[in-house]
Copies of this chain bind each other. A is one copy, B any other.
């Protein structure tokens, strides 16, 4: 254990000396998390988590810190470990310990053994509620701490893949407490996939390359929520957007939205910048590399690093170098040069999603925990979606945070709607 002599909470972190910087980061993020601010004020009054032991296995970031502070102020006794060892912000961890009195077990780059020891610390907390981003705590409880399971009232899970595993457990009857899958909230999707990804993808491209987007042909593969978010922002930056799709319904929607739609093979001859956002593999593959214009820039906003066929790209090239940070130049045998961003991994702003995007996600998590505690008696040991009422409540709070008031149905109008007369 490092220089944590003066820590006010038990912890295992890099260095308390980073706490000043971490505090600034947490406070800056808090500025852009107005929904969590509203929830925090409510929680301070209503104490919905009074005395509840909560273990969190989340990414240790400034935004997460604000979620935890909100839960703490709602009465929870919290222990935090990292769901992802490489994303831990050591400064944030330090400030959580020093300034917010929350025990943290997380060090950026921690090795497997240390990571396991941190997880163990979180399990030792005997949580009544788990908050997971990858099911580490839920899995740990079900495998190593079955004696603790009866005390667990419920949990939340933020990662889609983990939700799949938990669902499988629920089917087999091995899941022992209710879990809310927070990733599916509409407010989360709206801000994250559409608006968050739209901005961060373009910003990532500009930061990596410093190119001027206006007047360029930007080819976007996939017209799902991410794809259309990117398309509308690229158009907003003056680019001429081309969409490729495999689904005719989405393709015709892109046409009606004013975009050009064509096959990727045809788009290759026109595109200056390519962004894949399909969730499928080999969207840009061998045949495409042969057709691209020299200078074409390739990046991915979709899934992992499989959308651009990296092996085929390497094989097509006769030379290869990093020409700028995050920009690799592939020299083709015919003299053309192709540029790959971020090694084909998801391109994004340097800092990831804005705090205001995480605000929506974390607001759903905070209210979901409150919901679990209020309703645990009637909940079964399965995976639940975020209740619609919470989703709407988050939207309502976001509007409130912007000082935006909306109408409410009059009793008359409620009756009219209920009578089934409405149309359009």
Q: Name A residues whose Cβ lies closer than 8 Å to a Cβ of B.
A: 24-25, 27-28, 31-32, 160, 164, 186-187, 190-191, 193-196, 198-199, 203, 206-207, 210-215, 222, 224-226, 232-233, 235-240, 244-249, 251-253, 255-264, 266, 277-282, 295, 301-304, 306, 321, 323-324, 327, 337, 349-351, 354-357, 391-393, 395-396, 398-399, 402, 404-410, 412-413, 416-417, 420-424
- Closest CB-CB distance, A61 to chain B, in whole Å? 12
Pairwise interchain contact A210-B355, C-beta atoms closer than 8 A: yes
Pairwise interchain contact B392-A279, C-beta atoms closer than 8 A: no
Closest 5 CB pairs of A and B: A236-B236, A279-B422, A248-B395, A212-B354, A248-B396
Pairwise interchain contact B324-A24, C-beta atoms closer than 8 A: yes
Given A422-B303, A424-B277, the answer on whether A252 and B405 have CB atoms closer than 8 Å is no
Could you say which of A233, A261, A417 has the most chain B C-beta atoms within 10 Å of its C-beta? A261
- Closest CB-CB distance, A219 to chain B, in whole Å? 12
Pairwise interchain contact A303-B395, C-beta atoms closer than 8 A: no
- How many angstroms between the C-alpha atoms of A210 and B392 in the bound complex? 26
Pairwise interchain contact A255-B423, C-beta atoms closer than 8 A: no
Given contacts A225-B424, A249-B392, A303-B423, 10 further A-B contacts (CB under 8 A): A190-B256, A195-B238, A203-B206, A232-B238, A245-B406, A248-B398, A251-B406, A280-B416, A303-B421, A306-B421
Given A249-B391, A261-B404, A395-B249, the answer on whether A210 and B349 have CB atoms closer than 8 Å is yes
Could you say which of A186, A198, A249 has the most chain B C-beta atoms within 10 Å of its C-beta? A249
Pairwise interchain contact A246-B406, C-beta atoms closer than 8 A: yes
Tally of this chain's copies: 4
Chain B residues near A279 (CB-CB < 8 A): 417, 422-424
Pairwise interchain contact B412-A281, C-beta atoms closer than 8 A: yes
Secondary structure at the A interface, as helix, strand, loop or mixed, is mixed
Given A195-B212, A214-B199, A302-B424, the answer on whether A259 and B245 have CB atoms closer than 8 Å is no
Pairwise interchain contact B423-A160, C-beta atoms closer than 8 A: yes
Chain B residues near A357 (CB-CB < 8 A): 212
Can you show 12 pairs from A to B with CB atoms below 8 A apart? A24-B321, A210-B355, A212-B354, A215-B255, A233-B237, A261-B399, A261-B406, A279-B417, A281-B421, A303-B421, A303-B422, A306-B421
Chain B residues near A239 (CB-CB < 8 A): 258
- How many angstroms between the C-alpha atoms of A351 and B278 in the bound complex? 31
Chain B residues near A256 (CB-CB < 8 A): 190-191, 194-195, 214-215, 238
- How many angstroms between the C-alpha atoms of A400 and B240 in the bound complex? 17
- How many angstroms between the C-alpha atoms of A257 and B239 in the bound complex? 8
- Closest CB-CB distance, A27 to chain B, in whole Å? 7
- How many angstroms between the C-alpha atoms of A215 and B256 in the bound complex? 4
Pairwise interchain contact A164-B420, C-beta atoms closer than 8 A: yes
- Of B240, B249, B260, B395, the contact of A252 (CB 8 Å cutoff): B395
Given A160-B423, A239-B258, A413-B281, the answer on whether A199 and B213 have CB atoms closer than 8 Å is yes
- How many angstroms between the C-alpha atoms of A258 and B407 in the bound complex? 19
- How many angstroms between the C-alpha atoms of A280 and B402 in the bound complex? 27
- Of B214, B240, B395, B416, the contact of A195 (CB 8 Å cutoff): B214
Pairwise interchain contact A282-B413, C-beta atoms closer than 8 A: yes
- Of B251, B301, B405, B408, the contact of A399 (CB 8 Å cutoff): B251
- Closest CB-CB distance, A247 to chain B, in whole Å? 8
Pairwise interchain contact A416-B281, C-beta atoms closer than 8 A: yes
Chain B residues near A207 (CB-CB < 8 A): 203, 207, 349-350
Pairwise interchain contact A235-B236, C-beta atoms closer than 8 A: yes
- Of B213, B404, B407, the contact of A246 (CB 8 Å cutoff): B407
Pairwise interchain contact B240-A258, C-beta atoms closer than 8 A: yes
- Of B238, B248, B252, B410, the contact of A258 (CB 8 Å cutoff): B238
Pairwise interchain contact A409-B235, C-beta atoms closer than 8 A: no
Pairwise interchain contact A409-B246, C-beta atoms closer than 8 A: yes
Chain B residues near A408 (CB-CB < 8 A): 246
